[in-house]
Structure 1
Amino acid sequence: MASILAFAGSNSSTSINHKLVKYTTALIETHKIQLYDMTRYPFPMYSEDDERQKGFSNSLVELKNDIQRVDALLISVNEHNGNPSAYFKNLLDWLSRLERKFLQDKTIFLMSTSGGKSGGANSLKVVKNMLPRFGAEIVSTFSLPSFKENFEADGIVDDTLRTEHQQALDAFLLNLK
């Protein structure tokens, strides 16, 4: 049984990416899941001055340690103006300053969603190219377009998208150690 840490790249209390992550983790039965609500992880914008003067917060160190303790990560990234949110980029900046290869040997299922037809695909592409710099292995991706039309309380309503999501999840689970 593998251990998986799951979270959205958003710190919004109404995050649709968090809803997608929560739905996805509910489909996983054979592994240990930790689901994080990133609204509980506020970090100041990264600056070398803050790092030098204040060091690293306990919550950042704990998050890094939690990431390193698990076998895999399930992340859904939001999109602001065609890129990952400032929050998520900032989180990566802090974590990489704490330890450059903080994702070393981590298997990752990377997802995105948005209210628009692209489903956060631009952000997904940027993050997919970025995470391997920190040691990650992206084994599966999924983008859910038009969240309000394709997602309800029970999950993904479009049959084709639900199948694509399940196939991406299955591919991720097959890669777990």
Structure 2
Amino acid sequence: MKLLTFAASSSSQSINKHLATYAASLVTYADIDVLDINDFEMPLYSSDRENESGIPSLAQEFLDRIAQADAIIISFAEHNGSYTAAYKNLFDWASRINPKVYQNKPMVLLATSPGPGGANTVLTAAVNSAPYFAGNVKASLSIPSFYDNFDVDTWQLTNTELRQQLQTTMTTLQ
């Protein structure tokens, strides 16, 4: 199985990238492709820009990476209760090529934050909207209080209950 994993965040210190990569490592039978959305930085989407310059080739490259995967893990950072601007822009450009951005791939959607909310607001929005974009969401999980529950030195969830929930969540991709 080829597993595409990424954080919907452009932060070089993204805790969601830590979570997405850790979650992918739990799928021991998978070939893991870790995508960095910083490699897909494009001008802000607008219909005027699209009409003047066309769609950037990076949007197609993003869709190609999804097409090459058998399954997808995305961990969402939350900015003011919503998607990060970087992810939303990438998604908007890609959806101009193919509105079925997720291409019917089985998906696990995750989110985390330093606080007790665990970015649950954006995760709920992502889970609810994914089917409109051909996302086959198998499971989702929010990890609250990241730094209290994840040891970045050992790359492990230290909270036993959350670790078990994540392991169960990842089995939905089999």
SS in 2 for 1:140: strand
Counterpart of 1:50 in structure 2 is 49
User: What is the TM-score normalised by the length of structure 2?
Assistant: 0.94
Q: CA shift at 1:13, angstroms?
A: 0.7
Counterpart of 1:148 in structure 2 is 147
**Which residues of 2 match residues 29-68 of structure 1 at below 5 A?**
29-68=28-67
Deviant stretches of 4+, over 3 Å: none
Give the whole-Å Cα distance in 1 for the aligned partners of 2:104 and 2:78: 26
Cα contact 2:7–2:77 (8 A) shared by 1:
yes
Give the whole-Å Cα distance in 2 for the aligned partners of 1:105 and 1:39: 24
Give the whole-Å Cα distance in 1 for the aligned partners of 2:100 and 2:160: 38
Cα contact 2:71–2:105 (8 A) shared by 1:
yes
Counterpart of 2:92 in structure 1 is 93
Q: CA shift at 1:68, angstroms?
A: 1.4
Cα contact 1:68–1:102 (8 A) shared by 2:
no
Counterpart of 1:164 in structure 2 is 165
Deviations 1:59-106 (A, max 9, x none): 221111111121211100010111121222222211111111122221
Q: How many residues are matched?
A: 172
Output the aligned Cα RMSD: 1.2
Structure 2's unaligned 5+ residue stretches are none
User: What is the TM-score normalised by the length of structure 1?
Assistant: 0.92
Give the whole-Å Cα distance in 1 for the aligned partners of 2:38 and 2:90: 12
SS in 2 for 1:84: coil
* 1:118 correspondence with 2:117: yes
SS in 2 for 1:123: helix
